[in-house]
Amino acid sequence: MTTTPLSLASFRRDPTLIDGQTKLQGSKAFRQLMEILMAELPSKHALPYGSSGEDHACANGMEIGYLRCIETMKAAAEPALEGDPVADFLTSEETTN
């Protein structure tokens, strides 16, 4: 049985899921986890001397993805606004490729 992944936009349209995420984000453990995630940003670790431009580009991509993940977790506690252009980061096409 295959299921379509739940998108952020779909998640934000479900009041029950938003309520659960809001409670989760209010917990001490979640707040501490977010502090750890921010302390462990990929950009806080220097690349080795002599790293190539490709290495730097890869590190930049990792940083962007890492921050996007954190922002998505935070956004999951907020209901979608009418006409809000919330991106669906995982579409069924992307997961099948």
Q: How far apart are CA 32 and CA 8, in angstroms?
A: 23
What is the average per-residue pLDDT within 71-91?
70
Please tell me the pTM assigned to this model. Answer: 0.69
Q: How far apart are CA 10 and CA 6, in angstroms?
A: 6
The domain ranges of the chain are: 8-79
Q: Residues 11-68: pLDDT tens digits? A: 888 999 999 999 999 999 999 999 999 999 999 989 999 999 999 999 999 999 999 9
DSSP 32-79: HHHHHHHHT-GGGSPPPTT--HHHHHHHHHHHHHHHHHHHHHHHTTSP
Amino acid identity, residue 24? L
Q: Which position has the token pair 């506690």?
A: 77
